[in-house]
Amino acid sequence: MTTVHDTAVTTLAGDLSVWPASTAEPRPGDLAVGGVPLAEVADRFGTPVYVLDEVEVRDRCRTYRDAFPDTEILYAAKAFLCRAMIHWMEEEGLGLDVCSAGELELAVTTGFPAERIVLHGNAKSPRDLESALRLGVGRIVIDSPSEIARLAAAVGPDGRQKVMVRVVPGISAGGHEKIRTGTEDQKFGLSISDGYAQHAIARILDQPQLELTGLHCHLGSQITSVKPYLAAVRRIVGLMARLHEQHGLLLPELDLGGGHGIAYRPGEQALDLTTLARKVRTELAEACAAAGLPVPRLIIEPGRAIAGPAGIALYRVLAVKRTGSHTYVAVDGGMSDNPRPALYGVRYAPRLVGRRTTADRAPVTVVGRHCEAGDVLANDVELPADVHPGDLLAVPVAGAYHLSMASGYNLVGRPPVAAVRDGHARLLVRRESLDDIRSRDVGL
């Protein structure tokens, strides 16, 4: 992702490459984001708390618009969604990619135009489809043959709904096997190689209520190489060519999904958007020219790459325990507010903030408060050797797949989200309270 970090990096000797561009150190050891000291955010809203830099989110939207000027850009709401985020996406000219009636209805009731929303899902519920049709969602991505008849019946004889088909191009890409979705033999999409995609498309063409606008694929998440996207373009254009030969079909849209990889720690590789945009555009034009097809409009669906680097998670240290050769730093959050290390082995780079220290750095493992041995937030990272209970730790790149994947484990309550901008912090999502938890428990 192209962002400008020169000022902040100079301030902190080059170690802020994965932090928001606004990050600075107004006083030694006191980190600020969006002009707001992180220690102030923690004191005001408590911990754990997520901090979201609004300007960073908006700048990343604009980076996508600049790199892909002729492309429809849909923000993948599953990464993180709240009413403010929806409002920012609308103002920045992005559409939305949603996966449930909940995400869809939150967007529409916030005022987001339904026609700029695409509904995904490998197993859409009756409520998902009912909400999509009632609210007038722009497109529905068909993920299985059984959806075709169900959707056509729900649309009714006098209605019409735009749809796409999610195809599986048979390409392995992504940072972990659990987030690779472009391969055969997994739950998403319809395979090109075994003919299921072509068969489903033929069935859709027999349904006058359904208007097929294009093909969709999503290769996976945390992809840092351009090559898999180019391979996907070639295979999907090949399918488009066969559909034109068989049905005289010219599809106007091609959705390459998202999965654009970001760096979670300094030195890690991220996907180069400028190179991606240039090479995908060239590959698409050349493949279509070779097949004698008009170039379809490109659609992409970034989520993590917009929200992830704009977020910081703040935790308070509760205990420091030395056992054998290991030092464990336990904080007041954990796998209930960030299950990704336990699920995917993700590695973070936490930092002590809120006080100055001259202590040497020492290897520690930052662990959560939950009753699981696997509740580890950051394994074998360096923190000041004098870290102690009451200290504040900040974890960058915490804006995506944290709150959206948070659970109610141990009934600790999900953290709040505070936005920072121009020296001010405001609450976007309040902390889940014991009263919230208790009110859902209606039986004895």
Whether the Cβ atoms of residue 164 and residue 255 lie closer than 8 Å to each other: yes
Domain boundary assignment for the chain: 6-53+308-440, 68-302
Q: Does residue 58 have a pLDDT over 90?
A: yes
**Residue 233 is which amino acid?**
V
311-323 and 49-53 beta bridge pairing:
antiparallel
CB atoms inside a 10 Å sphere around CB 345: 12
Q: Does residue 181 have a pLDDT over 90?
A: no
Pair of tokens at residue 166:
């999610």
Taking alpha carbons only, the member of 419, 427, 314 closest to residue 58 is: 419
Largest CA distance in the chain: 73
* Pairwise CA distance, residues 199 & 183, whole Å: 19
Measured at the alpha carbon of residue 302, what is the angle toward residues 301 and 303, in degrees to the nearest 5?
A: 115
CB atoms inside a 10 Å sphere around CB 202: 13
371 in active site = yes
What residues contact residue 419 under an 8 Å CB cut-off, 6+ apart?
Answer: 34, 51, 52, 53, 54, 84, 425, 426, 428
Q: The pTM is what?
A: 0.93
Letter string b/e over residues 311-333, b meaning 16 or more CB atoms within 10 A of that residue's CB = bbbbbbbbebeeeeeebebbbbb
Measured at the alpha carbon of residue 381, what is the angle toward residues 28 and 331, in degrees to the nearest 5?
A: 80
- What would the pLDDT profile of 242-296 be if each residue is shown by its tens digit? 999 999 999 999 999 999 999 999 999 999 999 999 999 999 999 999 999 999 9
Active-site residue, from 61, 217, 288, 371? 371
pLDDT of residue 223: 92
Mean pLDDT, residues 329-334 taken together: 97
DSSP string for residues in 404-428: GG---GGG--PPPEEEEETTEEEEE
Top-level CATH class of 6-53+308-440?
mainly beta
pLDDT of residue 170: 73
* Residue written as token pair 């409520």: 127
Q: Does residue 179 have a pLDDT over 90?
A: no
* Pairwise CA distance, residues 261 & 175, whole Å: 8
Mean pLDDT, residues 8-16 taken together: 47
Whether the Cβ atoms of residue 166 and residue 189 lie closer than 8 Å to each other: yes
72-76 and 95-98 beta bridge pairing:
parallel
Q: Does residue 95 have a pLDDT over 70?
A: yes
Q: Which CATH architecture has domain 68-302?
A: Alpha-Beta Barrel (3.20)
pLDDT of residue 12: 38
Whether the Cβ atoms of residue 212 and residue 205 lie closer than 8 Å to each other: yes
Q: Does residue 426 have a pLDDT over 80?
A: yes
How many residues are given for the chain? 444
Taking alpha carbons only, the member of 335, 337, 331 closest to residue 311 is: 337
Q: Does residue 347 have a pLDDT over 50?
A: yes
Pair of tokens at residue 182:
């472009």
On the question of a common fold for 6-53+308-440 and 68-302, the answer reads no
Whether the Cβ atoms of residue 330 and residue 317 lie closer than 8 Å to each other: yes
* Pairwise CA distance, residues 296 & 10, whole Å: 44
